[in-house]
């Protein structure tokens, strides 16, 4: 399987996840990925579908070729990696706030996705992918705003464990925050402070505001149907091309005596094995293993209570 086909299959999985995400966000207003805007995720899916189309056209045009031009692959790879990294960054900030031992978290998924990407193409010590479109720039801005807001909360609680919160916040959750104020937020104090500082500096230099477009639930359902149709159409074309490319090729019968023993030859697929490495360069904060909070309601309520920018 070529790098093109592996990235295409990865991308289809990612698109499916993101479609479900913006529908969930539009319905609940918040989801397990902090409080990222549903309309922004919808725009992300539009871009991802465009990337999938580009990859598929190259796959279809070169299905019989032994080699492929990697220019389009490299371009798409960096942008796909960008979106996964932004999710990973948001989930890491949530994990710093409150640890959750559940396996079904954004952190675990994005960690696995980054590992899969590194197996498709190594990106050791190359740092974060940079945004190359307006939607990606907006995604980066909002991701950093979320990170800043979450870590600002951790710092505030660390300074004043007895600070007051809204009555809607469960006491059990508040007890966790207050306990973390003198334990977790001290233990990870350097990471919290560094990432908070980097986020603050980025936001000061950013000329963007928070993406405030609204996506109603009914509209999200309709748009999701269209996206699902496009995704299924692309994957259907991919499967058809794959079956055609791997179909047996007729062989000239050179020796009639051995005619019945002649077997159709198949060229084995080439498996690309890249060296696994760290996800981010040392110039960025070093992210390490752990479990992140699946914050369906808790984190958004806390951030709203502190009157931070609502994303």
Q: What is the pLDDT at residue 159?
A: 95
Residue with the bigger pLDDT between 94 and 230: it is: 230
Radius of gyration of the chain (CA): 23
In this predicted structure, the answer to whether residue 170 has a pLDDT above a threshold of 80 is no
User: Looking at 3-17, 74-88, 116-130, 207-221, which range is the least confident one?
Assistant: 116-130
Helix (H/G/I), strand (E/B), else coil: 255: coil
**pLDDT per residue as tens digits for the range 216-259:** 999 999 999 999 999 999 999 999 998 887 766 544 333 443 44
Whether residue 46 lies inside any domain: the answer is: yes
User: Looking at 42-46, 75-79, 167-171, 288-292, which range is the least confident one?
Assistant: 288-292
What's the chain's average pLDDT? Answer: 79
Q: What is the pLDDT at residue 248?
A: 60
In this predicted structure, the answer to whether residue 305 has a pLDDT above a threshold of 60 is no
Whether residue 292 lies inside any domain: the answer is: no
Whether residue 183 lies inside any domain: the answer is: yes
Q: How far apart are CA 166 and CA 170, in angstroms?
A: 9
Name the band, by pLDDT with cuts 50, 70 and 90, for residue 199. very high
Find tokens 């490495």 and name the residue: 277
Whether residue 211 lies inside any domain: the answer is: yes
Q: How far apart are CA 163 and CA 165, in angstroms?
A: 7
Q: What is the pLDDT at residue 169?
A: 73
Three-state secondary structure readout of 184-226 = HHHHCHHHHHHHHHHHHHHHHHCCCCCCCCCCCHHHHHHHHHH
C-alpha triplet 81, 210, 201: angle, nearest 5°: 75
Average pLDDT rounded to a whole number, residues 96-125: 87
- The pTM is what? 0.78
* Selection from 180, 186, 227, 189 nearest residue 23 by Cα: 227
Q: How far apart are CA 288 and CA 215, in angstroms?
A: 34
In this predicted structure, the answer to whether residue 95 has a pLDDT above a threshold of 50 is yes
Name the band, by pLDDT with cuts 50, 70 and 90, for residue 125. low
Q: Which domain holds residue 211?
A: 3-228
Residue 191: other Cβ atoms inside 10 A: 17
Whether residue 245 lies inside any domain: the answer is: no
Terminal C-alpha separation, the chain: 40
Residue with the bigger pLDDT between 6 and 175: it is: 6
- DSSP-assigned states of every residue in 75-106: HHHHHHHHHHHHHHHHHHHHHHH-----SSSH
Question: Over pLDDT 90: what percentage of the chain?
Answer: 56
Backbone dihedral region of 127: left (phi > 0), alpha (psi from -120 to 50 degrees) or beta?
A: left
Helix (H/G/I), strand (E/B), else coil: 309: coil
Q: How far apart are CA 307 and CA 311, in angstroms?
A: 11
User: Looking at 1-15, 142-156, 206-220, 238-252, which range is the least confident one?
Assistant: 238-252
Residue with the bigger pLDDT between 102 and 149: it is: 149
Whether residue 240 lies inside any domain: the answer is: no
Whether residue 98 lies inside any domain: the answer is: yes
Residue 71 Cα to chain centre, angstroms: 22
**pLDDT per residue as tens digits for the range 268-286:** 333 333 333 322 232 333 3
Average pLDDT rounded to a whole number, residues 134-157: 94
C-alpha triplet 110, 111, 114: angle, nearest 5°: 80
Number of domains the chain contains: 1
Residue with the bigger pLDDT between 9 and 277: it is: 9
State which of 21-25, 88-92, 169-173, 233-237 shows the largest mean pLDDT: 233-237
Q: Which residues contact 234 (CB under 8 A, 6 or more apart)?
A: 12, 49, 52, 53, 56
Q: How far apart are CA 189 and CA 266, in angstroms?
A: 58
Whether residue 307 lies inside any domain: the answer is: no
Q: Which residues contact 182 (CB under 8 A, 6 or more apart)?
A: 158, 161
State which of 139-148, 247-256, 257-266 shows the largest mean pLDDT: 139-148
Q: How far apart are CA 36 and CA 40, in angstroms?
A: 8
Q: What is the pLDDT at residue 1?
A: 61
Q: What is the pLDDT at residue 11?
A: 98
Average pLDDT rounded to a whole number, residues 108-125: 90
């Amino acid at each position: 399987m070529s790098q093109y086909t592996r990235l295409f299959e990865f991308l289809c999985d990612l698109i499916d996840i993101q479609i479900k995400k913006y529908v969930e966000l539009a319905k609940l207003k918040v989801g397990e990925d902090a409080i990222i805007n549903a309309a922004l995720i919808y725009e992300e899916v539009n871009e991802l579908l465009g990337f999938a189309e580009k990859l598929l056209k190259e796959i279809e045009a070169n299905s019989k070729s032994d080699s492929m031009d990697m220019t389009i692959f490299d371009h798409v790879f960096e942008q796909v990696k960008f979106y996964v990294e932004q999710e990973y960054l948001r989930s890491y900030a949530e994990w710093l706030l409150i640890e959750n031992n559940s396996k079904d978290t954004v952190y675990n998924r994005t960690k696995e996705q980054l590992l899969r990407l590194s197996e498709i193409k190594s990106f050791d010590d190359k740092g974060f992918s940079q945004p190359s479109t307006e939607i990606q720039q907006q995604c980066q801005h909002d991701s950093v705003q979320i990170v800043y807001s979450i870590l600002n909360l951790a710092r505030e609680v660390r300074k004043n464990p007895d600070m007051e919160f809204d009555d809607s916040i469960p006491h059990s959750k508040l007890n966790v925050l207050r306990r973390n104020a003198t334990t977790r937020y001290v233990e990870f104090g350097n990471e919290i402070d560094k990432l908070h500082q980097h986020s603050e500096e980025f936001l000061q230099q950013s000329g963007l505001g928070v993406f405030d477009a609204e996506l109603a639930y009914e509209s999200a359902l309709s748009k999701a149907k269209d996206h699902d149709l496009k995704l299924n159409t692309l994957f259907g074309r991919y499967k058809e091309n794959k079956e055609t490319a791997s179909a047996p090729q007729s062989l000239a019968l050179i020796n009639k005596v051995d005619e019945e023993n002649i077997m159709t030859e198949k060229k084995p697929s080439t498996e690309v094995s890249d060296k696994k490495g760290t996800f981010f360069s040392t110039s960025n904060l070093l992210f390490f293993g752990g479990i992140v909070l699946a914050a369906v309601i808790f984190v958004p309520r806390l951030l709203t209570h502190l009157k931070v920018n609502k994303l």
